[in-house]
Structure formats: C-alpha cells, structure tokens
Structure 1
Amino acid sequence: MPAPHQSPNIRIALPDDDEELSALDRGTWSTLHAVTPRPQPPYAPFFDERHAPGDHLVAELDRHIVGYVRLAFATPLVSNAHVRQIQGFAVADEARGRGVGRALIRAAVEEARRRGARRLTLRVLGHNTPARKLYEAEGFVVEGVLPEEFFLDGRYVDDVVMGRML
C-alpha cells in the first residue's frame, strides 16, 4: 500500500478500466449511498451507452484505481447544458481518509468548468454524513431536500440536492 501522504493521480477513464471500475463499484456498494439493489452476477459492464469512459475521472494510487467520479449532463435539454451533475462517486475502503475523495471532487469541479459548465450539482442521501461533509467543504450547498424519497434497510431516507457555482 502506498504511503499515506501520496497524492492520487487523477485522469480521464479509459475503456480498459471497465473491469477494475466495475469491481470497485461492487466492492463499495452500500445503502449509505446506493438506492439500487446490490449488483448480482452476471455483472453488467461499468461503461454503457449512457456512461462513456470520457464521463469519468479516476483516481489511481500505485497504478490501481481507488476511486472514480462520473460527470454527466443534468438533463438532455439544451437550456440546461450549462449544468453538469455528479452521477456517481466511489472511493475504495483502503483509500478512504487519504484525500482521494477530495481530490476527485476538486478534479470534477475543474473538469466541469473546463467543459463549459457554470454549475455543478449532485444528489446525496441524507444519512450519508461523510459525503455531505466532503461536499460542503468543497463549496456545495444544500439546494433542496426530497423528504423520505427512498426506503432503504427498513427506513425512509431523504434525498438531498446540492450544488455550487463554478
């Protein structure tokens, strides 16, 4: 395992990253952030017609992918083309607490700006305190709450909409 002070390398995903990203996604699945059922074999490819490699930034430590963030258009509307949305974010358990998530969010902000966005938004489950604190520390603010939007693990969970200007 790399030294704790090592900064992750952030890059655009490549088609060859599919299997490693799929394994990371399965390995980090939790109702803390996932609203879909736990993935079951046979596993679908990570990339598909809606989520291309170029829509993802990956974080590497010692040439292993330890995190990713997915940037997408918030909607297909031309009038909304100035907004990007984080529609996926994961950090491997062994890389948590080492700045990987923060580096990915900062890179996502810069990449969205580079792609011409004026705003960056995301949705996070109300009970996901670690993610919410990270987003707030990186300039995101709560813009709305959908109360009890999901029923997970026997309880209702809020869906929190957050955003920031670029």
Structure 2
Amino acid sequence: MSPADPVVRPATTSDDADLLEIDHVTWSPRWSPGTAPDRERDPAFFREQHGGPEGFLVAELDGVVVGYVGLHPAGNLASHAHVRIIDGLGVLPAAQGRGVGEALVRAAVERARAEGAAKVTLRVLGTNPTARRLYERCGFAVEGVLVGEFVIAGAVVDDVWMAIHLDR
C-alpha cells in the first residue's frame, strides 16, 4: 500500500495555527533572508505580513495540514496585473519527500492560470538548491540572479529569480 497523495485546497482561517506551526518549524536562514518567526511577536499566521487565507493553498496528507504555498499579485500596478508571485512555501519535515512541495507549486501555477495570469515568479536563495530543483521540475527557469544580494550569518548569498510563463 502506497502513502496517500497530497490533497491541495484553498486555505481557510481555521488553518492559521497549522500554518503558523509549519512556518516556525521550517524557517531557516538557508532559505529565508528575513528574521526568524517569533511566536510572541507573530502569534498568528494570517496577519498584516501574510494577509488573509485567500492568498494561500494548503496541502493535507491523511487529513492533516502538512504544507502551504502563498500566491499573490506581484505588484499593485495595472501593467503588472498579469504576474503572480509565489511568496512562501513550507512543508513539515515529516512530510518532505512525499510530493507535497511539488503538488503545492503545481496547484499555485494552475490557480494563477485560472486567474488569467501570464507569468508566475518566485525568489529562491542560492543556498537552497533543493527548492531550486523543485521549481525547475515544475517548469520554472532562472530569469536572473542578484549576486551577493544578501549577507546572512556573515555569508554573501545570491537571490535567484525564477519564473514560468503561462502564455507560451
């Protein structure tokens, strides 16, 4: 008997605690240039920084939320309305290697397509080759590299911009 495939669905406000936990256990300076989540400072996932649940999809395995992806408009300009950005992806360590990340990224791309987007972008740190390979499997390609964009824990880190064009 094989393990169940991930089920991806839109996030709801009732997912807040699960997504907050995923955010806390998956954060690392190897894949985020920002500050570590702080339960006292950030007691909820859906807050000003993340907005509401409408910009997120969650993945479940056997009815348990194990991952999320954020998909939002890339900007506020009308001339940029055709672009969406994946601006967050997290999968619980126990669920990694089971296709959850790929299911989430593919679902985000399909959601963007359904919304009429022509392009989906994302940023990934040069210190995260595993994520980069995931995005490449899902059809993303490097569009640019901001060399030395961050200094994290004393190390210079590149910011890799990737995209998939939905109208090609």
Matching of residues 41-52 of structure 1 within 5 Å: 41-44=39-42, 45-49=44-48, 51-52=51-52
Q: Determine if the alignment matches structure 1 residue 71 to structure 2 residue 71.
A: yes
Q: When the two structures are superposed, what TM-score results if normalisation uses the length of structure 1?
A: 0.94
Percentage identity across aligned positions? Answer: 49
Match of 1:35 among 2, 27, 33: 33
Which one is further off, 44-53 or 103-112? 44-53
Q: When the two structures are superposed, what TM-score results if normalisation uses the length of structure 2?
A: 0.93
User: Partner letter of residue 34 of structure 2?
Assistant: T
Q: Determine if the alignment matches structure 1 residue 6 to structure 2 residue 26.
A: no
Match of 1:22 among 2, 16, 20: 20
| Long gaps (5+) in structure 2 | none
Q: What does the per-residue CA deviation read over 1:78-128, in whole Å, with 9 as the maximum and x for residues that have no partner?
A: 110000000000111001111001101110110010111010000000110
User: CA 1:4/1:148 → structure 2, altered by over 3 Å: closer, same or farther?
Assistant: farther
Q: Determine if the alignment matches structure 1 residue 58 to structure 2 residue 52.
A: no
User: Partner letter of residue 139 of structure 1?
Assistant: G
Matching of residues 1-166 of structure 1 within 5 Å: 5-44=3-42, 45-49=44-48, 51-166=51-166
**1:43 positional shift:** 4.2
Residues 84 and 112 of structure 1 are in contact (CA less than 8 Å); yes or no, is this contact kept in structure 2? yes
Q: Provide runs of 4+ in structure 1 moved above 6 Å.
A: none
Residues 4 and 62 of structure 2 are in contact (CA less than 8 Å); yes or no, is this contact kept in structure 1? no
| Long gaps (5+) in structure 1 | none
Residues 4 and 98 of structure 1 are in contact (CA less than 8 Å); yes or no, is this contact kept in structure 2? no
